[in-house]
Amino acid sequence: MNESIRYAWYAVVAAFLVLLGAASYVQVVGADDLRTHEANSRELYKQFGGPRGPILVDGEPIAESVPSDSTSFDYQRVYHDTELYSGLTGFYSLAYGQTGLEQALNEWLSGSADDLFIERMRQTFTGAENPGASVELTIDPKAQEVAFNALPEGMTGSVVVSEPDTGRILAMVSRPSYDTNLLAVHSTTEASENMEQIVDSGVSPYQNRPTYEIAQPGSTFKLIDAIAMLESGEYSTGGSIPVPNELPLPQTNNTISNFRGGICDSRDSADFTWIFAQSCNTPFAQAAMDMGQDPLLDVAERFGFNDDSLKIPLSVTPSHFPTEDIPPATLAQSVLGQVDVRASALQMNMVAAGIANDGVVMHPQLVEIIRGPDLNVLEEPQPEVYSEAITPDIAEDMTSMMTEVVQSGTAMPARSSIPIAAKTGTADVGTTGKVNSWISGFAPADDPQVAVTLVYQNTDYSVGSQLTATNLKTIVEAVVEQ
């Protein structure tokens, strides 16, 4: 064999090996990457019309793919009880992609997760369809319905109900809501028209309000203040604290006052439990300036403030307490849940649940179990500690003070045969005269089963203050096992 033929033969063999390697890569190693690439419109259409896995609550689908009459797609994504669940499921749309759990759990629902590789290989050889995995949520349908009914139509608000000792979310709802089926239609033109109507109605279909929206928490932030005060050793639940009617703020002409004409102005001093129950502003503002910013920031972050990594698996907007140094006057206002302090309904629920659970904050959990097409268990999340935020002794003191809020303080409409511990909050919304009305608590106070948080945004004070405690009681009495 002369030199030229030998080199030609080497070149042919090398080319053959390259082609064989490329084909092997495309068929085996890189198949998933190519199949799921965002530019692969064929795969997008195939997945959209395929038998996507269901999202279940108590064994019943709240989102599922059913056979379609369409000539373009074999399956149609269908949502049930959309007012109750749209914030959680989000939508799966040819025109707008995925949001909510449809996005967060897409690999499972579409069947493209690594744990389903063998199932995909089987389908490749048999020609069978890939139905994706089914996802069962932690949601309790009764709790979800009761929580949703606590939000009057026409109002903006959120409710979160959880198990303090596991972190399982039993209810997570918000208003305004919308019909996710309007965006799951096969026609992109129709989906676009429907999206326009949804947005014009004041709804953002891209957000789950209880985890996304952060609002001024008002006096529910005094839960954080009170913990920092107790931890300092300078305050005790029965210790006497001055209660000035007005508190001048240093280096400003501003003052902080208690609720005008309220019970806090009736005493020059009072014990800490009474001050907490009546939600007097001036003692907390003075204590914050005395302690400084760091202890308050430390407590807030132990409960989850400023954490930008939290997923449940929905994305969670970090709640905010200032990390940069702020003047004492600003700190005094911030600890009242005003200025630039912001919290989600989920965050304030984590605070209440952590106190209820002897100071241990559990990682919030929405997924109960994930099963493959043959019902084999693929993933079963277990309770996970988020942080050991406070000691059991501090938690016990906080429970005692929160119980007094309901028995003789600002949450008296929540009094029930079930002992409830709670903290109310009202935050002014700019100069509009509107407020955010909050309540966050747990029950039974002596053996907590649920933590409940409600927030009504941009409402009248008289409306919000009436709804918070009353509906906390309603939810507790409907959900707690008596």
Residue 79 within any structural domain of the chain: no
pLDDT for 91: 96
Q: Which residue has the higher pLDDT, 203 or 319?
A: 319
Residue where the block lists tokens 């929905």: 314
Q: pLDDT of 51-77, one tens digit each?
A: 899 999 999 999 999 998 876 788 999
Residue count of the chain, please give it.
482
Side-chain half-sphere of 361: how many Cα atoms within 13 Å?
Answer: 21
Q: Is the pLDDT of residue 35 over 60?
A: no
Query: What six digits make up the tokens of 467?
Result: 């709804």
* 469 neighbors 411 (Cβ within 8 angstroms): yes
Count: domains in the chain: 1
How far apart are alpha carbons 216 and 194 in whole angstroms? 32
- Asked whether residue 285 is assigned to any structural domain, the reply reads yes
Establish if 425 belongs to a structural domain.
Answer: yes
- Nearest residue to 440 via CA among 398, 384, 382, 392: 398
Residue 40 covered by a domain: no
State the chain's mean pLDDT as an integer. 90
In whole angstroms, give the CA distance from residue 280 to residue 245. Answer: 9
Please report which confidence band the pLDDT of residue 130 belongs to, taking 50, 70 and 90 as the band edges: low
Q: Which residue has the higher pLDDT, 80 or 433?
A: 80
The angle at the Cα of 344, spanning 297 to 424, to the nearest 5 degrees, equals: 80
pLDDT score for 462:
87
pLDDT band at residue 308 using 50, 70 and 90 as cut-offs = very high
DSSP string over 146-176: HHHHTS-TT-EEEEEEE-TTT-BEEEEEEES
Contact indicator for 409, 279 with CB cutoff of 8 Å = yes
Secondary structure (3-state) at 398: helix
* First-to-last C-alpha distance (Å) of the chain: 93
Closest by CA position to 162, among listed 403, 454, 358, 399: 454
Question: Given this model, what pLDDT does residue 432 score?
Answer: 81
Q: What is the pLDDT of residues 395-449, one digit of tens each?
A: 999 999 999 999 999 999 999 999 999 999 999 987 788 999 999 999 999 999 9
Mean pLDDT of 374-383: 92
pLDDT digits (tens, 9 = 90+) for 271-289: 999 999 999 999 999 999 9
* pLDDT value, residue 430: 78
- Hey, is 58 helix, strand or coil? coil
Categorize the per-residue pLDDT at 127 as very low, low, confident or very high, splitting at 50, 70 and 90. very low
Which residue matches tokens 């009736």?
266
Does 475 map to a domain?
A: yes
Distances (CA, A) of 176 to 162, 198, 441: 21, 10, 24
The range of the structural domain enclosing residue 221 comes to 213-368+383-479
The CATH number assigned to the domain holding 409 equals 3.40.710.10
pLDDT at 40: 43
Does a structural domain hold residue 338?
yes
Q: Indicate the burial class of 34 (C-beta count within 10 angstroms; 0-12, 13-18, 19 or more).
A: middle
Is the Cβ–Cβ distance between 389 and 448 less than 8 Å? no
pLDDT of amino acid 31: 53
- What pLDDT, on the 0 to 100 scale, is given for residue 23? 60
Which is the catalytic residue, given 110, 177, 219, 440? 219
d(CA 67, CA 283): 63
Q: What is the pLDDT of residue 230?
A: 98
pLDDT above 60 for 302? yes
In-domain check, residue 85? no
Name the residue with higher pLDDT: 376 or 71. Answer: 376
Q: Which residues lie below 8 Å from residue 376, measured CB to CB, with a gap of 6+? A: none
- Judged against a pLDDT cut of 80, whether residue 16 lies above it is answered with no
What pLDDT score was predicted for residue 43?
Answer: 52
The pTM for the full model equals: 0.88
Query: Measuring CA to CA, how many Å separate 117 from each of 69, 110, 120, 280?
Result: 30, 12, 5, 59
The pLDDT assigned to 68 comes to: 85
pLDDT, one tens digit per residue, over 213-252 is 999 999 999 999 999 999 999 999 999 999 999 999 999 9
Helices (H), 384-460: 392-408
**Quick one: pLDDT at residue 100?**
96
Residue 328 burial (10 A CB sphere; 0-12, 13-18, 19+): middle
Question: 348 pLDDT exceeds 80?
Answer: yes
How would residue 125 be classed by pLDDT, with cut points 50, 70 and 90? very low
Q: What is the pLDDT of residue 129?
A: 61
- Examine the residue annotation and report whether 65 is marked as an active-site residue of this protein: no
Picking from 356, 389, 99, the residue whose alpha carbon sits closest to that of residue 224 is 389
420, part of any domain:
yes
